[in-house]
Amino acid sequence: MQKLVITIDGPAGAGKTTVSKALADRLQYRYIDTGALYRGVAYAAKAKNIAADDDKGLKNLCRDLELQFVRTDTGVRLFCGPTDISDDIRTPEMSMMASAVSARPVVRKALLGLQRRLGAQKAAVFEGRDMGTVVFPEADVKFFLTADLEIRASRRHRELEEKKSFQKYEEVEKDMQRRDHNDSSRKTAPLKPAEDAIVIDSTQHSVESVIEQMMHHINPKIAAAP
């Protein structure tokens, strides 16, 4: 059976995390949340008062930064050194900061090697924004997951409420619209589907329906002779 590298890119709120985790569980693959790595950089930058456009500061930060995924009883968690920062990086402030630092070439270069090392053993689902275009252009299967802005904002608003991080829906939608613009218009690795990506609109589909659509494309690859 072929072991694959599968990439799932797309804008915030499209359902990437939920779908990626479910797909990895279905395939018994590793799930790699690359967006969390950029949030980790944003978290560390804020802690050290490094501005999002301070390339020299960010370069030095990334050189010494120790980010690692650790499997725990509550799932896979992101640690920065000895500290679990999984919950701290999921605030609206960190979302915007992550979008800003991810546009800096020095940060993308620093994390590129780490991501590719994580994919070297294959059997992994990578969630992100440039997985299929930049990090793994030769990935076995590439997906681009999207949804209408209103649906994506509603999903994110509900997530924030569940985490007791209260923000008005209008603010969530405005932040998401701004982040969409920032991610898609940046010069370095803009958010866009890879030319050979399979685009799936999750607006009117359940998680299980999206997974089934993905498996339709994945199964032939798994069954193919090495």
Model confidence over 173-204: pLDDT tens digits?
999 999 899 888 888 888 999 999 999 999 99
**What is the mean pLDDT of the segment spanning 20-42?**
93
Within a domain: 163? yes
**What is the mean pLDDT of the segment spanning 52-65?**
95
| Residue 135: CATH number of its domain | 3.40.50.300
Model confidence over 79-130: pLDDT tens digits?
999 999 999 998 889 989 998 998 899 999 999 988 998 899 899 999 998 9
Within a domain: 223? no
pLDDT at residue 226 in the model: 61
**Residues facing 225 on adjacent strands:** none
Q: What is the number of other CB atoms lying within 10 angstroms of the CB of residue 113?
A: 9
**What is the mean pLDDT of the segment spanning 68-75?**
83
Within a domain: 76? yes
Within a domain: 12? yes
**What is the mean pLDDT of the segment spanning 130-139?**
95
Cβ neighbours of residue 35 closer than 8 Å, sequence gap 6 or more = 16, 98, 127, 128, 129
Q: Virtual CA dihedral for 130, 56, 77, 5, nearest 10 degrees? A: 30
Range of the domain at 49: 5-218
pLDDT at residue 138 in the model: 96
Q: Most distant CA pair in the chain: distance in Å? A: 52
Buried b / exposed e across 142-152, counting CB within 10 Å, b at 16+?
bbbbbbeeebb
Query: What are the residue ranges of helices labelled H in 28-66?
Result: 34-47, 55-64
Within a domain: 106? yes
Within a domain: 224? no
Within a domain: 207? yes
pLDDT at residue 225 in the model: 54
The DSSP bridge pattern shows strands 124-128 and 30-33 to be parallel
Q: Is the pLDDT of residue 141 over 90?
A: yes
The domain tally of the chain equals: 1
Within a domain: 226? no
**Residues facing 189 on adjacent strands:** none
pTM, entire model = 0.81
Instruction: Name the residue with higher pLDDT: 162 or 115.
Output: 115
